[in-house]
Amino acid sequence: HFGQSIPGKPDMLVKNIAGAAGNVAANHLYSKADKDGLTLGVPGRTWMLSKVFGDPGVRFDAEKFTYIGSAGPENNKLWVRSDLGIKTFEDLKKSKNKLVFGALALRSTNGSIPLILGHDGLPITVLPGYKGTSSIMLAIEQKEVDGMFTGDDTFRANRGDLIDNKVVIPLLQSAPETKGVPLISDIVSPKSKALYELASAAERFGVPLIGPPGIPADRAAMLRKAFIAMSHDKAFVADAKKVSLPVGEAIEGEALKKMVVDTVDHATPEVVKQFNDYTAAPSAKGKKR
């Protein structure tokens, strides 16, 4: 769809570059891709904070990329199996058994947010190491884990049947979307507020489309304008809904860059150390994958 909104309607060729939670693709864009606006990328959700957290192998400065746009923020929810008998957040607080949440990695959003809630006193622990969100959803269905933290859109795109059949229910959410489900920002403790803001930054960014640093200003402006035009196109909106992408809340490139820069600049050493300490915690014990 993006090519249809760019003058000349160029063909769009896709090359998958996997690895290191998007850092491999980001490194490529930063140092190897031509700066003519013809090579863009979607490294993922959390790569822009990798340098802040001291991740190895990071060879880019997130503040220097050319930000084109994002489809919009994602509302993540704390999903649990309904057969656990825990129907509300109040039930969760009273649970005498720790719930195990599957995650890709402790540093990923689906790992770090449950960890923060666990450190805040909720009966939650995290089991990382799954290769994809669909694998975690299968583990939920097979009762290997008790839940996961992910977006409604992501869950529906992979296993919407688990939501429709009430195999899973949400207990917390990051945005005021579902009536009666508390906001995480309202229940997280004061000592964890800054940490939660940092860990949840990727939710606000959505999935950014970026280019290498140094794309000529006129081309960058054209690409940003085309991205916003695409986000309003009826055909794009229809296809986006089919795969549960956010629609109607697109973030323009300059605004997106400011969000990233502000987040990086406000990541104090104390909060970063706290995040690193939390995400280095031992994984869940006693349950087999």
Q: What is the pLDDT of residue 177?
A: 85
- The sheet with strand 251-252 has its strands ordered as 208-211, 66-70, 251-252
Please tell me what DSSP assigns to residue 102.
E
Mean pLDDT of the chain: 91
Spans of the chain below 70 pLDDT: 20, 281-289
Q: What is the pLDDT of residue 282?
A: 57
Hey, which bits of the chain come out as E strands? 66-70, 76-81, 99-102, 124-127, 147-151, 168-173, 208-211, 251-252
Give 125's strand partners.
Answer: 100
What DSSP assignment string belongs to 169-238? EEEEESSTTSTTPPBHHHHS-GGGHHHHHHHTHHHHH-SEEEE-TT--HHHHHHHHHHHHHHHH-HHHHH
- Residue 163 — left, alpha, or beta (φ > 0 → left; ψ -120 to 50 → alpha)? alpha
* Distance, CA of 202 to CA of 72 (rounded, Å): 11
For the chain, the straight-line distance linking the first and the last C-alpha, in angstroms and rounded, comes to: 39
Q: What is the pLDDT of residue 281?
A: 54
| Among 21, 20, 199, 179, CA closest to 120 | 199
**What are 261's two structure tokens?**
């820069």
Q: What is the pLDDT of residue 54?
A: 85
| Among 67, 62, 68, CA closest to 30 | 62
* Distance, CA of 140 to CA of 161 (rounded, Å): 13
Q: What is the pLDDT of residue 284?
A: 45
Helical (H) or strand (E) element with 15: none
Q: How confident is the model over 224-236, as pLDDT tens digits?
A: 999 999 999 999 9
Q: What is the pLDDT of residue 16?
A: 87
| Among 38, 42, 39, 51, CA closest to 107 | 51
* Distance, CA of 220 to CA of 136 (rounded, Å): 38
Q: What is the pLDDT of residue 17?
A: 84
Q: What is the pLDDT of residue 108?
A: 85
Helical (H) or strand (E) element with 158: helix 152-164
Q: What is the pLDDT of residue 18?
A: 78
* Distance, CA of 22 to CA of 247 (rounded, Å): 23
